[in-house]
Amino acid sequence: MTRTRLRGLEIGGVQMGIELPESCPWRWPDAPIAGFACLPRDPEVHVGVRVGSVPQGDLGGERYRISAWTFEVCRRGEDWLLGLERDGHREQLAHFDRDFRSGEVLVAASDGGPAFPLRTPLDEWIVLHRTVARGGLCLSATARAVEGHASLRLGAGGRGAPEGLGSSLASMVRGARSTILLREQAGRLYAYRTPWSDSVDPRLARVAPVSDVMLIEDAERPYRERLDPEEAADLLLSHAVVSVSDEVLLDRVLCNARRLAERVPVLRVGASISRASSLDVRTRSILQPSGPAPSSL
């Protein structure tokens, strides 16, 4: 009987228990995800790791380029097949059930397999689906600290027109870092910091209550309006990370957006920020002295 080890990972309140054979090395990457390790006391996602020969045939699904890797997403009936390929050679193949409650990751046998078997974006994909399954959303947004609460700004960089339903999915798997997990607990919304995103104010805790959600637009005159629940849900939906080719996930995101829109103020704010920024840049350019800047004392 093969002896195994159990490792724990918790992101966005989603705890994963990762069981791997002793022959497979384990080293946390030199990356923020190492700070999300936990004791796998009660994992909601069970992941088995197996080392062996990884099939190389075409999965026939969607393919996304991520740096030197290609991420493959395919459905097999109700289940998921997820592949990671580099230089035309698949090095990982993951098989999960429909709701990402349990699955197996097959890793290439060379060098005993990778030190960390849930290479991004595989870990992101798991957390995204479990977040939606538990009533939450993954939004293209940034979070600013306001008196210990998270004030969310929709869109990459906190402003800009909605991208359209599902268009942010490709951005996420290609490595976009302006995403935030949003989920309800005891009737209140919370924003979760993740190891992949750099769009959360460092002053915020890993889990922070949400004070409001807003879309900031360029406007000749400033305005601020609170949207009714239907408009608010549409706005959240337009910034949600979701695949329109997955009907089950899409239906869940639709329901979640409608419910969460009733839990927090969703605002549309007009501000002439671009004009002010342009003026500020010109002013600083005029005032900036030529030559090297003075050293700080």
What is the rounded distance in angstroms from the CA atom of residue 162 to the CA atom of residue 159?
9
| Contacts (Cβ under 8 Å, ≥6 apart) of 228 | none
pLDDT at 275 over 50: no
pLDDT at residue 293 in the model: 34
Q: Is the pLDDT of residue 112 over 60?
A: no
Average pLDDT over residues 145-151: 95
DSSP 172-189: HHTT---EEEEEEETTEE
Q: What is the pLDDT of residues 205-243, one digit of tens each?
A: 999 999 999 999 888 888 899 999 999 999 999 999 887
Question: Is the entire prediction scored with pTM above 0.85?
Answer: no
Section 24-40 average pLDDT = 88
Q: In the chain, what are the domain boundaries?
A: 4-119, 135-277
Which of 210, 189, 268, 197 lies closest to 234, judged by CA? 268
Angle at which helices 229-238 and 247-260 cross, to 10°: 140
Tokens of 54: 């990884």
- Give the mean model confidence (pLDDT) for residues 254-279: 80
pLDDT value for 219: 83
Q: 150-179: per-residue pLDDT in tens?
A: 999 998 665 554 445 544 555 555 545 788
